[in-house]
Amino acid sequence: MSTLDMDQALPTFLAESRELLEEMEGALLSVLDSEERQELVMINEALGKIQQGLFGVCEDCDEPIGLKRLLARPTATLSVEAQERRELKQKMFGD
């Protein structure tokens, strides 16, 4: 196969590969329960934050999330303090 043929075949190959991966992801999601699906969403969000350079930054206060928290829960989006505030508010106001 010549380089030109390969260059022309590459977009088709990539499109077919992407389609196959989407089908596989759909099949995988169908066997996961809702809790597992939520965890997968959180993992994908954490990976996106890594790519954006935002991993480990609290969504509430923009301060760093502590290393111990990230080691214990890599998908954490809030610092311990922000999480505690949120839980207290939910407990007090039922939000």
- Would you state the pLDDT for residue 33? 79
Name the residue among 19, 60, 23, 25 with its Cα closest to residue 40: 25
- Would you state the pLDDT for residue 4? 53
pTM above 0.85, yes or no: no
Residue 6 above 70 pLDDT? no
Cα separation, 52 vs 55, whole angstroms: 8
**Mind listing the pLDDT tens digit for each residue in 50-74?**
999 999 999 999 999 999 999 999 9
Cα separation, 82 vs 62, whole angstroms: 10
